[in-house]
């Protein structure tokens, strides 16, 4: 089987998957629950996610093929479909969240008012286009745009770090363990980025240090998010929940920017590209899972991405394209579903893999 992406592209895809849905509204949303300890929610969740990305890399080394293809060959299509269905819905939830956040961004930052129907139509076109691209195309696109992404993030942090009051993160550990756990659980839809390895497993050109490269890129992305959250808290303190667009708002805190040519507009223009590419990653992964569920005669990429887009669109309509409704849907209902998909399903996959190996070993012994 031909491998589609290099280890560098795989690492960059993981980085974008981490950054795409955490730097706009999530710091503000979690600050509402965790106050100045929002960074602890991110840090604790990243620690758990790190263990699960190692689990997926272990699976990649074991099966050496796409996960759904492995499930079809070893356990039958019915098992593959059972695994694929929750994966489809989880990626759809991640896509609809990016839709809601990007709509608010363009409506509140870029334009006076954005027509919801027009924006939704553009959003659907982006999912259809990006989700139907080959994985190597996404990898190359990220390689081309990565320097621009890094420049945007560097400018945002550089322009805001001078306004940070580092004492605002004190006292440490003021959040109770129960509140920490509940906040982590309610917002787990925004995390679990290792799930993207459903798309990458079996498609990476494995080299000597491929797993280490992916882990390093993942940890670097986590560190960028944590630094952003800490600076966001140190800049805004108790008013952090009021500043919805974290990565944008921290650059607008200092009045001197007005006399320096409003360089923060570069960030306003560049950062949405990260969200759009992240949307492409989620859509591509979701469409591959849909393709697993289709009959072989109609199992084409175009049909799969069309069905996946329809699911995302349905979720957006259910939320009435209102972010408060969408946020309630993601935290009160979607969180249970995504938790099962992101943190229970991988363990089941590892157990299935181990069980198949034991059965094979017994047959060889006989």
Residue by residue, DSSP assigns 220-278 as HHHHHHHHHHHHHHHHHGGGGGG---HHHHTTSSSGGGGGGT-THHHHHHHHHHHHHHH
240 is written with which tokens? Answer: 């952090």
- The whole model's pTM is what? 0.90
Q: Tell me, yes or no, whether 276 lies in a domain.
A: yes
**In-domain check, residue 55:** yes
Is residue 71 domain-resident? yes
| Structural domain count, the chain | 1
**What is the mean predicted confidence (pLDDT) over 241-251?**
86
| % of the chain residues with pLDDT over 90 | 40
Local confidence band at 3 (pLDDT 50, 70, 90 cut-offs): low
At residue 326, the 3 state secondary structure works out as helix
Instruction: Tell me: pLDDT of 66 over 90.
Output: no
In this structure, is residue 2 part of a structural domain?
no
Specify the higher pLDDT residue, 279 or 249.
279
Asked if residue 201 belongs to a domain, the reply is yes
The pLDDT of residue 38: 92
Considering 2-6, 168-172, 187-191, 252-256, the range whose residues carry the highest mean pLDDT is 187-191
Q: Quick one: pLDDT at residue 225?
A: 95
Confidence at 322, pLDDT banded by 50, 70, 90: confident
**pLDDT of 228 above 80:** yes
Q: What angle do CA 129, 133, 87 make, to 5 degrees?
A: 90
- The lowest-confidence range among 37-41, 130-134, 192-196 is 130-134
Question: What residue numbers bound the domain in which 132 lies?
Answer: 7-365
Whether residue 22 lies inside any domain: the answer is yes
CB-CB neighbours of 228 under 10 Å? 24
CATH number for the domain that contains residue 84: 1.10.4160.10
Q: Phi/psi of residue 5, each to 5°?
A: -130, 155
pLDDT in tens, 104-161: 888 887 776 778 888 889 999 999 998 888 888 888 889 888 888 888 888 888 888 8
Does residue 143 lie in a domain region? yes
Domain-located, residue 1: no
Cβ of 198: how many Cβ atoms within 10 Å? 26
pLDDT reading at 356 higher than 70: no
């Amino acid at each position: 089987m031909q491998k589609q992406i290099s280890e560098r592209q795989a690492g960059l895809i993981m980085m974008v998957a981490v950054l795409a849905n955490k730097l706009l509204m999530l710091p503000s949303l979690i600050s509402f629950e965790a106050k100045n300890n929002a960074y602890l929610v991110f840090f604790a969740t990243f620690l758990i996610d790190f263990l699960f990305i190692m689990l997926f890399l272990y699976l990649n080394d074991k099966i050496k093929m796409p996960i759904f293809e492995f499930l079809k060959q070893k356990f039958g299509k019915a098992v593959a479909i059972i695994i694929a269905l929750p994966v489809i819905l989880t990626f759809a939830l991640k896509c609809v969240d990016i839709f809601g956040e990007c709509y608010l961004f363009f409506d509140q930052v870029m334009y006076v008012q954005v027509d919801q129907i027009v924006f939704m139509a553009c959003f659907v076109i982006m999912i259809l286009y990006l989700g139907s691209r080959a994985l190597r195309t996404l990898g190359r696109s990220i390689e081309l745009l990565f320097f621009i992404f890094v420049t945007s993030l560097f400018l945002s942090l550089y322009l805001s770090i001078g306004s940070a009051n580092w004492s605002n993160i004190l006292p440490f550990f003021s959040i109770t363990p129960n509140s920490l756990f509940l906040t982590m659980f309610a917002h787990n839809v925004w995390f679990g980025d290792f799930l993207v390895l459903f798309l990458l497993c079996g498609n990476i050109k494995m080299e000597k240090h491929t797993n280490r490269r992916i882990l390093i890129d993942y940890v670097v992305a986590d560190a960028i998010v944590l630094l952003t959250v800490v600076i966001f808290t140190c800049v805004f303190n108790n008013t952090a929940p009021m500043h919805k667009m974290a990565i944008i708002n921290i650059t607008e805190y200092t009045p001197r920017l007005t006399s320096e040519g409003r360089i923060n507009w570069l960030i306003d223009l560049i950062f949405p590209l990260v969200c759009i590419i992240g949307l492409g990653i989620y859509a591509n992964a979701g469409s591959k899972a849909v393709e697993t569920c289709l009959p072989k005669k109609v199992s084409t990429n175009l049909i799969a991405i069309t069905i996946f887009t329809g699911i995302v669109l349905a979720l957006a309509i259910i939320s009435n394209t209102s972010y408060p409704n969408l946020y309630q849907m993601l935290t009160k209902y979607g969180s249970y579903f995504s938790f099962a998909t992101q943190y229970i399903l991988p363990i089941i996959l590892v157990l299935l893999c181990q069980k198949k190996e034991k059965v094979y070993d017994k047959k060889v012994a006989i």
